[in-house]
Structure 1
């Protein structure tokens, strides 16, 4: 029994097509972020810090760094502005004074809820443009793609 040979030209076209689709998706999402988030006066990174804390409750700087895949120094710099503008407060943990935790202020909670609603409205609009009955199919395909990208990224580490 012989194994069918892969048509290398078709494979290369597929690789190129996937690359172009991913690049286009990333660009569109970045534009969305800028447009949807900047109207609230935040950068994308500030927005996602606020949303992570809204979703999880108070988080340490290390936890935020891990969730956002950014260096601690970058998270600290971003958080400095959020603390300065009174969206976040920093608290030292009682059981370990070396660890700093970030929590939303009332102003931060209000802003994070507005951001979450704005982003949710955008994705509702996206879903409304999918063919009826295909939402689950699209979600499954995106999950497969995300898993493949994450696995490829882990291999590169």
Structure 2
């Protein structure tokens, strides 16, 4: 019986440690987004929409909503601002007028490329602080953790 209690204590400490690490990671990423994206004049959500559309050329509002895990009404409000600022355009599909696709304007592409470069520079800086030869190991561990978080999230919804 003592081993079982000892194992349970270790397990509970591990749960607490993972929770704290994840919370710290989320907070640091949020701070990065606020500080680095804000200098370009965008919110985090606006930035992510611009980058997703840049990556995919065009996306429907439903696709953006699914990728960002946000309600369609929220995406629509954010996109209204991006359309107003002439960063993206919305078009109804000719074969189904109910579906609206978004694509970047030339100005939107320029801004998205700037955001992409800022984010890339940030991650280059992060990688520079990893011990030499351990980048792949860290990537593998983060992928495992991300997969577990995604699976846990889907299960609890």
Asked if TM exceeds 0.5, the reply is yes
CA shift digits 1:104-155 (9 cap, x unpaired): 0010000000000000000000000100000000000000100111111111
Q: Distance in 1 between matches of 2:58 and 2:141?
A: 33
Q: How many residues align?
A: 154
Q: Which residue of 1 aligns with 2:136?
A: 136
Show structure 2 runs of 5+ residues with no match.
none
CA shift digits 1:78-111 (9 cap, x unpaired): 0000000000111111111111111100100000
TM-score (norm 2): 0.96
- Once the two structures are TM-superposed, the CA of residue 9 in structure 1 deviates from its matched residue by 1.0
Q: Which residue of 1 aligns with 2:14?
A: 14
Q: Distance in 2 between matches of 1:29 and 1:85?
A: 26
User: What's the secondary structure of 2:118's corresponding residue?
Assistant: helix
Q: Which residue of 2 aligns with 1:81?
A: 81
Question: Runs of 4 or more off by more than 4 Å in structure 1?
Answer: none
Q: Which residue of 2 aligns with 1:101?
A: 101
Q: Distance in 2 between matches of 1:133 and 1:155?
A: 35
User: What's the secondary structure of 1:50's corresponding residue?
Assistant: helix
Q: Distance in 1 between matches of 2:7 and 2:96?
A: 60
CA shift digits 1:1-20 (9 cap, x unpaired): xxx74611111111101000
CA shift digits 1:34-81 (9 cap, x unpaired): 111000000000000000000001111001001111000000000000
Q: Which residue of 1 aligns with 2:55?
A: 55
Q: Distance in 1 between matches of 2:98 and 2:122?
A: 40
Task: Let me know the Cα RMSD of the aligned residues.
Answer: 1.0
Show structure 1 runs of 5+ residues with no match.
none
